[in-house]
Chains A and B, each alone.
Chain A
């Protein structure tokens, strides 16, 4: 869940869907406290240059909330980082499935998984159990072979 950060000069909200309710409570609070904010619903990928300009013209003390599907959140985050935002200047929330990388313990091949508990490695065909053993170096989880 998002948390409302006090004491920011300006809040920036963006989402990929007008039916996304994750931001409502934050907007409500900003209105109550009379904090300046901007709100954009970005449904098209082509709006990227607009987003880029939007982020670039912000001043110190701006705080960003991103809500949407995983790809959207990743894309907007990247644009924000390029414009000078850091992890401390933003929060994000993913709606829907989160894809993650899974490394096959047998062949080290990378698989993409969402919420499955077992997958077949696309590289070597080994059946893998998805674990929560995570490597930051590889940004991936480990898939184990089980002996039944």
Chain B
């Protein structure tokens, strides 16, 4: 289950500001790559496929009208895998006949592009089994975006089954303060203006007790218990900084948006080795308003983390 990575590859989520609030913190994505293959590729792929097998309703959902967008997502991702990781993936396209070779995993698949009968799964479900990212398709209509398809194995405490079909604002109603100053409306307007060929990305962070990637809402009763088990002895090892690298691509033909989420985790004891990170994170957590700490699930052990960070600061 453990999936933590090297500190050098960890996407540090904070910018210059020592105060954290919800905001539209998306920036242009350069180079425009929707996916990233890391050292834990094989491990995470196996975990994903196991979850998809055991919990198909929890991990995949699609509305029938998303089929064209699903093929576009597959097209974009398979081409990028082959282009940016040529030693691991090969893609041969001969008209509509495609052969995708995952050399890293030792798997080969041929199919006819656009013909769902030539794949044994829906296109999004197929391509999601070859990348570490969770994949969400938001379809645009009636001046709004709707979560109409997704493959989601590593959610940060939300349910694809429950949220499927919802509009952007409906999905985000549980986030306290997200509606204030019409932040939800402004982000929605931003997303609807994303253009093909100009993708964006952002990082989102939280703390978690434990190191599970599969923190679905469905299993919260199990993994949420770890929040009560944080002590000053185990805090550095048990508590992890969890960062989602989220990327947004307009799909030009279907006008949908492909939203890829790559989840990274690092235990606090690794994270704090880098003194500037320790200093800044300590101030941010100190100042963080209760309503954000509550929503991020930090409140039960925030004090223990703060004491740990202060002790570490004194040692420097």
Residues on A facing B (Cβ under 8 Å):
103, 105-108, 126, 131-138, 142, 144-145, 147
Contact = CB atoms under 8 A, between A and B. Distances in A.
Contacts of A105: 159, 162, 217-218, 220
B44 to A, nearest CB: 24
A131 B174 contact: yes
Nearest to A124: B221
Interface string B134-166: 000000000000000000000000010111111
21 contacts: A105-B162, A105-B217, A106-B218, A106-B219, A106-B221, A108-B57, A108-B161, A108-B218, A131-B174, A134-B173, A135-B163, A135-B170, A136-B166, A137-B164, A137-B165, A137-B166, A142-B159, A144-B217, A144-B220, A147-B228, A147-B300
A43 B230 CA distance: 60
**B164, B218, B219, B227 — which one has the most chain A CB atoms within 10 A of its CB?**
B218
Nearest to B226: A147
Contacts of A147: 220, 224-225, 227-228, 300
Given A131-B174, A136-B166, A137-B164, A145 B221 contact: yes
> What are the nearest 5 A-B pairs in CB distance?
A137-B165, A147-B224, A145-B221, A105-B217, A133-B174
Contact of A145 (B162, B173, B220): B220
Contacts of B165: 135-137
Dominant secondary structure of chain A at its interface with chain B: loop
B221 A134 contact: no
Contacts of B218: 105-108
A126 to B, nearest CB: 6
A74 B218 CA distance: 32
Nearest to B225: A147
A144 B218 CA distance: 9
Given A142-B159, A145-B224, A147-B300, A134 B170 contact: yes
Given A135-B162, A144-B217, 4 more contacts: A133-B162, A134-B170, A142-B159, A147-B224
A106 B219 CA distance: 6
Interface in B216-241: 217-221, 224-225, 227-228
Contacts of A126: 221
A147 B57 CA distance: 25
Contacts of A132: 173
Nearest to B220: A145
B167 to A, nearest CB: 9
A64 B300 CA distance: 52
B54 to A, nearest CB: 14
